[in-house]
Amino acid sequence: MGAIRGVVSLVVGAILATALVAQQSGPPGTGGADQTGQAGRGRGGRGRGNTIQIPPKGECPPGTTEVRPQTCQAPEFPPPSIVDYRPHSTLVADAHPVPKAKFPAIDIHGHPRGLLSSAESLASLTASLDTLNVRLMVSADDGVSGDRLARVIGMIRGTPQRDRVWMFTSIDFRDVGRGWAERAVRQLEADVKAGAVGVGEISKSFGLTIRKRDGMRLKIDDPDLGPVWDACARLNLPVFIHTGDPEEFFRPIDYHNERWLELSLFADRRYPSDRFPSFDELMAERDNLVKRHPRTRFIIAHMSWYAADLPRLARLLDTYPNANTELGAILYDLGRQPRAAHDFFVKYQDRILFGKDAFEPEEYPYYWRVFETRDEYFDYYRGYHAFWKLYGIDLPDVVLKKVYFQNALRLTPGLPQTGWPR
């Protein structure tokens, strides 16, 4: 796995390096690589004079690529930047788009945001969900509790769409210190009375940026929070928690970083080690939390950002029977390893929940297509995430039903339990 990943990142790195040298180079036609002073004169692919030898396992210099073993060459034409290189695939492959899920789905990771502001906007939300066969959305917006939560639930229950959207409540992690837990538990009990069916999404700021009353970083496994997690078990609520972000966001932003483009586009996705805990530190704290509260059911968002390392996710699920996982926003990692992902879903079919995260109706069909078909080599919906194509993982119906709705129903007893296919 590590070796394969190394090779892939080397190739991607070489492409990026080539592209970036071009961006920085002079007028068109001068050959991007000339500026490195290393890569010949950009005279085309035939001659021998413009190649560079590298040692075994060496890396080609910037602006060049490996054309034969240990032989690097600069392209004759100024290479496009990675944002401009958009080759059209010549592969002729069967395509089976799936506009509607095969079975009714529960989106456990909904962010309807403004769409819960009125009965009219709710009606437009559920009309979109109908076209996708998403029967229920769980609103996992952070920061909704108390009066606001009760108001939104009251609005939903007063409409014909009353059973289509369900609310998770939020924990206010500000000002953790003496007396905090008692207040938080009281609020939680009130929110459950108002109709909340779970807790979350606990946002990534928990662990990354939130501070305690004393100014120290609030660690995910801070013992002051313990009474709240125990209350979730007592109240029979799942805890939906997002920790960290893709591991590449915590790494140096160099040309070996698989998310270089995304990191260059979005400054708020960078977590330099001098200002943030490391990825592994966050994961260890989260594991500790799950371990210390074995009776609390956790739904770990985004497959814990382990979807590119399914063996690691398997270890997490094997170690903690109270851990479950949700698959929002990591489809690009599942779809690039269709056989491993298929086997993982079959093995852990009782532990995986469908969730979409950002509410963009036109993006859901990519999920259905990956889960339900054997299609090959098709695009993900965000080019800056994935310099690769997706493949269908062709899940059997019994697994689809669990992932789409049965697991969510089991873990969230407050959701309507009847009227689902068998």
Positions that interact with Zn ion (CB under 5 A): 201, 357
C-alpha 338/C-alpha 171 separation (Å) is 37
232, 188 in Cβ contact below 8 A?
yes
Minimum CB distance to Zn ion, residue 305 (Å) = 13
Minimum CB distance to Zn ion, residue 37 (Å) = 48
Minimum CB distance to Zn ion, residue 324 (Å) = 16
Minimum CB distance to Zn ion, residue 378 (Å) = 25
Using N-to-C axis directions, what is the helix angle for 180-194 and 146-157, rounded to 10°?
A: 10
Residue 324 or 373: the one with the smaller Cβ distance to Zn ion is 324
Residue 248 or 357: the one with the smaller Cβ distance to Zn ion is 357
Residue from 12, 3, 28, 25 nearest 65 by CA: 12
Minimum CB distance to Zn ion, residue 300 (Å) = 12
C-alpha 316/C-alpha 235 separation (Å) is 25
Q: Between β-strands 51-53 and 165-169, what pairing exists: parallel, antiparallel or unpaired?
A: unpaired
Residue 201 or 287: the one with the smaller Cβ distance to Zn ion is 201
The CB density around residue 192, as the number of other CB atoms within 10 Å, is 19
Residue 338 or 355: the one with the smaller Cβ distance to Zn ion is 355
Minimum CB distance to Zn ion, residue 143 (Å) = 12
| Residue carrying structure tokens 């298929």 | 342
Minimum CB distance to Zn ion, residue 113 (Å) = 11
The four Cα atoms 180, 210, 297, 193 give a dihedral, to 10 degrees, of: 50
Residue from 422, 326, 421, 414 nearest 133 by CA: 421
Residue 333 or 357: the one with the smaller Cβ distance to Zn ion is 357
165, 130 in Cβ contact below 8 A?
no
Minimum CB distance to Zn ion, residue 90 (Å) = 37
Residue 201 or 262: the one with the smaller Cβ distance to Zn ion is 201
Report the b/e string of 7-28 with b at 16+ CB within 10 A. Answer: eebbebbbbbbbbbbbeebeee
Please give the residue whose beta carbon sits closest to Zn ion in the complex: 201
Residue 164 or 356: the one with the smaller Cβ distance to Zn ion is 356
- Name the amino acid, one letter, at 184: A
Residue 188 or 299: the one with the smaller Cβ distance to Zn ion is 299
Alpha helices in 293-386 (DSSP H): 310-319, 331-334, 338-347, 364-372
Q: Identify the bridge partners of residue 73 per DSSP, sorted by sequence position.
A: 51, 65
Q: Between β-strands 65-68 and 71-73, what pairing exists: parallel, antiparallel or unpaired?
A: antiparallel
Minimum CB distance to Zn ion, residue 420 (Å) = 24
Residue 357 or 375: the one with the smaller Cβ distance to Zn ion is 357
